[in-house]
Amino acid sequence: MSIYQELVEKAVSVGRAKRVKRVVLSPFYAFAELERGGSALAYVDKELLEACCEATEETYWKRPADLMVKKYLNPVSLETPIALSVINSLLNNRRELAKEAIKDDPLNHIELSFEDEVLMIGYFEPLMKRLQGRVKRVWIIEKPNPFQDLSKIEDFDKIALAIVTSATLSNKSLHVYFPYLERIPEVILMGPSTPLAPEVFKYTPITWLSGSLVKDSELLFKMVCEGKGTKSFFKKGVLEKINLRIKKK
């Protein structure tokens, strides 16, 4: 079973008898809010915006949440981040997560030396600044040629940490990186699109989930409508970072 199917199965089990209150799609993020429930985000891949003029003719508001979640398994389109935002709304607002949450940065829990190398799939400028001078090298993998960049890495055994953008779940490319991540001791899936479901990622190379909780749904909805991005969300305090250590068996 693929990681995407597992995400859907888990979200469907949580989403029965729940309905979507509202959704919105901006050039940067999809936002979904549940009736009598939580809300969450998912990154919108710019390539999808360039390829599609609209998601579909149907409305998403007031739809059963489990039906919306299943759209995530359709071919990648503008519906994909919308469905992922619904998945995240269901999974990220479970009360039991609070017991396992680690508030401070995962980097504070990971030992790194000056001889270590770090792999960064997607560019995180604040983390790049923190890692400079702390490790030997940071490999940055970005579009348009990620696999060409990966082929330049001389020795994966020297990589102590990988930081992977959860935007890879919005275009469903995360699985293609798994073979490159298997030998890396610590792998963080990071970003507002991160589903807070450690049980789903237990048998993957991911060892940390670094996502966010929505603190003010109304203001976040307005900010997404206005085309705001991650920096603005955190500056206004509408998002709160949350980290989960994945227990491996």
Strands 29-34 and 20-25 turn out to be: antiparallel
**Rounded Cα gap, residues 115 and 136, in angstroms:** 5
Residues 166 and 146: their CA atoms lie apart, in Å, by 15
Where do the domains of the chain lie? 3-97, 100-214+229-245
pLDDT value of position 148: 85
Q: What is the mean pLDDT of each run of 10 residues along the chain (249 residues)?
A: 95 94 95 94 86 69 95 93 97 87 88 96 93 94 85 92 97 95 96 96 97 97 96 96 87
The pLDDT score that the predictor gives to residue 73 is 97
> Under CATH, which architecture does the 3-97 domain have?
2-Layer Sandwich (3.30)
DSSP reduced 3-state for 29: strand
pLDDT given at position 56: 64
pLDDT at 211: 96
The half-sphere exposure of 227 on its side-chain side, counting CA atoms within 13 A, is: 1
Cα-flanking dihedrals φ and ψ of residue 20, to 5°?
-80, 130
pLDDT at residue 136, rounded to an integer: 95
Predicted pLDDT at 247: 82
Gap between the Cα atoms of 147 and 211, Å rounded? 25
pTM over cut 0.85: yes
CATH of 100-214+229-245, one of 3.40.50.9100, 3.40.50.11590, 3.40.640.10, 1.10.3720.10: 3.40.50.11590
List the one residue out of 245, 244, 219 whose CA is nearest residue 232: 219
Which pLDDT does position 129 carry in this prediction? 92
